[in-house]
Amino acid sequence: NMGHNDTTSWELSLILSITNPLSTVIILANLLIIIGIICNRKLHNTPNYFFLSLLVADVCTGIALPFIPSMSLERQMDFHTCLLLHTFPNFLFLSFLFNLVMVHYERYLCIVNPLQYGSFWAHRFFLLALLAVWVPPLLYASLPAFGWNNRAALNSSQEIEDCSYRNIFPHEFIYLEVYGLLIPAIFSIIFMTVRVLWIAREKMRDICKLHRAVDRDQASDKEHRMNVRYAKCVAAVSLTFLICWVPYIIYVHVSLFSLSQGQVKVADSTTHIILSCTGIGSTAIIPVILGLGNRQYTEPIRKVFERLRDRWQKRTPMTCTIYFLATQTNSSIVLS
């Protein structure tokens, strides 16, 4: 037992050392973007409200980030406490993923059907759309609390038990969540992103044809700038996919493999912990990237930093002048 407790404490310290910096960055960055949206009245519309809901879900995911990788650890605690520590972080992450799909879907419709964008059902029934991204994750994550768990396989007479996801989530529940919710959500986001990039490419080609029909010459500087901007956009999307989604997909399949093999070996626990922390943390960075990429969201914060910079620049010459006068006075006193 002492060896098991020492191993668990070491694994928990490793999880906290990785997730605490990630959680801090995710929470602070989302709060700055939230403040930027709230302070700018021009952004008070339905699409930005969807993004605001995503930011709130991302803040909750950042708070729950240290608890999600620790689900694989075996700790001694009451079953109901263990149930809460597993179902609530799972609900927060699922709601974050549902909000992310909704934001991508809303922007996808804006590009695909711009004329019918104003009649989008989520704009007319905004509260219903918010319930659609928060209530289903809550209902699914609460299924273990309503009896779909491995409690029957344990000794119910014990008040203190080994707490891990194997004692809470049945295998069917995990496979249904991964292949019924997580993977379809990820592929839908990828499909919508690729479709938007393809439409942007076609529109850019039409614009280039119009330019050449008018100018009747080779590619102009505007066409070159458009191609460079599109290439940067594709590179940014590809890099975001590699950094944010690939680690999470690897983590999910490694977890399923270890689930099918049984107990994770101690030698592999470090690798599993690193994959879980980086995989989940990388997905939580996506809203931060989307928010920081929009200058409207960061405009109030940017203005605050510009004011502080201007004040510092005004104060710096005055400080140098005072220092120069003081040194000159001291030197004249010494000479006299």
* The three-state (H, E, C) secondary structure of 104-144, written as one string: HHHHHHHHHCCCCHHHCHHHHCHHHHHHHHHHHHHHHHCHH
Question: Phi and psi (nearest 5°) for 169?
Answer: -100, 120
247 falls within a domain: yes
Give the model's pLDDT for residue 325: 54
Give the model's pLDDT for residue 88: 93
Q: Is the torsion defined by CA of 112, 117, 119, 120 positive or negative? A: positive
269 falls within a domain: yes
Range of the domain at 48: 2-301
332 falls within a domain: no
Give the model's pLDDT for residue 313: 73
Rounded mean pLDDT of the chain?
Answer: 81
Identify the CATH number of the domain in which residue 103 sits: 1.20.1070.10
Give the model's pLDDT for residue 300: 76
**pLDDT tens, position by position, 35-56:** 988 888 888 888 899 999 999 9
% of the chain with per-residue pLDDT over 90: 28
Residue 202 pLDDT level (bands cut at 50, 70, 90): confident
How many other CB atoms are found less than 10 A from the CB of residue 56?
17
DSSP per-residue letters across 74-103 = -EEE-HHHHHHHHHHHHHHHHHHHHHHHHH
pLDDT above 90 (res 67):
no
DSSP per-residue letters across 261-285 = H-SPPHHHHHHHHHHHHHHHHHHHT
256 falls within a domain: yes
Range 225-231 average pLDDT: 81
239 falls within a domain: yes
pLDDT above 50 (res 2):
no
163 neighbors 74 (Cβ within 8 angstroms): yes
Distance in angstroms (rounded) separating the CA atoms of residues 121 and 108: 14
Distance in angstroms (rounded) separating the CA atoms of residues 233 and 196: 11
314 falls within a domain: no
Instruction: Work out how many domains the chain is built from and give that number.
Output: 1
Question: Phi and psi (nearest 5°) for 66?
Answer: -65, -20
Residues with Cβ within 8 Å of 242's Cβ and at least 6 positions away in sequence, in order, are none
317 falls within a domain: no
Q: Which residue is it, tokens 């989520």?
A: 122
pLDDT above 50 (res 61):
yes
Residue 161 pLDDT level (bands cut at 50, 70, 90): low
335 falls within a domain: no
Residue 158 pLDDT level (bands cut at 50, 70, 90): very low
